[in-house]
């Protein structure tokens, strides 16, 4: 398929490159042009605008930070809709909310453009290895058309249902990620207070009943003092905010999720928003120092 990819960040760059390696005809766009170098070097065309991406694609994939960024790419100056043509499919693989997915689908339909919401989970490692889990909402027949592209990026492709269902599934996932992160941090903090060997603690947590992707992916980074993002803390805070908004509409109590949301905000306010979700440990370290002083 002719695929346009917009948003070459931590995950987007690897996702786009895997599409290229799978043999699809690719064109890319990114606001920061320096991030397109790997694609230029590989002979992949680099567009000047999202409009140009749309003009030259059957499928346009968007992987940016938040709903306002998606909206700008789609409907802003030189946006995707200005290059729209019959049969064009837009896939939003960023995480926002079911409400935005429905809004984007409705506005794009006015331009005869189909829409899928298809957020992902798996972090930077999953993106590099083409092993993401992808959750898709939208028309089933449009999903089937795009499925070969999804398969070049992910190992688990889930058709979740109608428009917005992909985002709903992702918000459920993000609650589990956030609370897993909290569990890991608190386990490490207690282990440190016991003067346990953290290497041995990791062996227990990564092989026993506590085993999780969060433990296996992020605890080794913490052990070597690496706070660089596989997934940014500020992005998780944003996702949890969307989850809480949806829960409020439904009257669903999310006690622990409300707590981790406040903790993520506090850690972000300390200056760690652009670091990985494992940077939550800095909040604990600061509180521990305050209590011991």
CATH of the domain at 179: 1.10.1040.10
Domain check: are 152 and 195 in the same one? no
The one-character DSSP state at 279 is: G
Domain check: are 30 and 117 in the same one? yes
Domain check: are 83 and 33 in the same one? yes
CATH of the domain at 75: 3.40.50.720
Q: What is the Rg, in whole angstroms, of the alpha carbon atoms belonging to the chain? A: 20
Q: Is 170 a catalytic residue?
A: yes
Helix (H) or strand (E) holding 155, with range, is strand 154-161
Tokens of 270: 């300390």
Q: Which of 51, 168, 170, 232 is catalytic?
A: 170
Count: domains in the chain: 2
**Domain final residue, candidates 119, 143, 162:** 162
**Domain final residue, candidates 130, 162, 194:** 162
Domain check: are 135 and 177 in the same one? no
**Domain final residue, candidates 162, 179, 195:** 162
Please give the residue range of the domain that contains residue 204.
168-292
Domain check: are 145 and 220 in the same one? no
Tokens of 22: 């799978």
Domain check: are 174 and 54 in the same one? no
Domain check: are 195 and 145 in the same one? no
User: What digits encode the pLDDT tens for the residues 217-235?
Assistant: 999 999 999 999 999 999 9
Domain check: are 149 and 184 in the same one? no
Residues paired with 161 in a beta bridge: 137
- 6 Cα distance to chain centroid: 14
Domain check: are 156 and 181 in the same one? no
Domain check: are 197 and 126 in the same one? no
Question: Alpha helix (H) ranges present in the chain?
Answer: 12-21, 37-41, 50-55, 67-75, 98-109, 123-129, 140-151, 165-193, 198-207, 213-223, 233-250, 255-267, 281-292
pTM for the structure as a whole: 0.93
Domain check: are 16 and 106 in the same one? yes
- 25 Cα distance to chain centroid: 24
Alpha-carbon distance 204 to 292, whole Å?
29
User: What digits encode the pLDDT tens for the residues 62-112?
Assistant: 999 999 999 999 999 999 999 999 999 999 999 999 999 999 999 999 999
Domain check: are 50 and 108 in the same one? yes
pLDDT tens track, the chain, 293 positions: 999 999 999 999 999 999 999 999 999 999 999 999 999 999 999 999 999 999 999 999 999 999 999 999 999 999 999 999 999 999 999 999 999 999 999 999 999 999 999 999 999 999 999 999 999 999 999 999 999 999 999 999 999 999 999 999 999 999 999 999 999 999 999 999 999 999 999 999 999 999 999 999 999 999 999 999 999 999 999 999 999 999 999 999 999 999 999 999 999 999 999 999 999 999 999 998 877 76
């Amino acid at each position: 398929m002719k695929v346009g990819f917009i948003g070459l960040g931590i995950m987007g760059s690897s996702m786009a490159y895997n599409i290229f390696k799978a043999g699809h005809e690719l064109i890319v766009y990114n606001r920061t042009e320096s991030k397109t170098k790997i694609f230029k070097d590989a002979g992949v065309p680099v567009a000047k605008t999202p409009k140009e991406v749309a003009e030259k694609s059957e499928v346009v994939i968007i992987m940016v930070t938040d709903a306002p960024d998606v909206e700008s790419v789609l409907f802003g100056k030189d946006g995707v809709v200005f290059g729209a043509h019959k049969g064009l499919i837009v896939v939003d693989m960023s995480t926002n909310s079911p409400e935005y997915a429905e809004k984007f689908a409705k506005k794009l339909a006015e331009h005869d453009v189909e829409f899928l919401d298809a957020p992902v989970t798996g972090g930077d490692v999953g993106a590099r290895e083409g092993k993401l889990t992808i959750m898709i909402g939208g028309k089933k027949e449009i999903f089937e058309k795009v499925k070969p592209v999804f398969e070049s990026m992910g190992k688990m492709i889930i058709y979740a249902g109608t428009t917005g269902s992909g985002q709903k599934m992702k918000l459920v996932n993000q609650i589990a990620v956030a609370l897993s992160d909290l569990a890991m941090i608190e386990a490490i903090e207690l282990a440190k207070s016991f003067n346990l060997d953290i290497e041995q603690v990791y062996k227990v947590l990564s092989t026993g009943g506590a085993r999780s992707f969060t433990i296996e992916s992020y605890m080794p980074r913490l052990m070597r003092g690496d706070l660089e993002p596989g997934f940014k803390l500020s992005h998780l805070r944003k996702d949890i905010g969307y989850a809480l908004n949806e829960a409020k509409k439904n009257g669903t109590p999310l006690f622990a999720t409300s707590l981790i949301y406040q903790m993520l905000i506090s850690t972000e306010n300390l200056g760690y928003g652009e670091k990985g979700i494992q940077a939550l440990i800095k909040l604990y370290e600061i509180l521990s120092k305050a209590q011991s002083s």
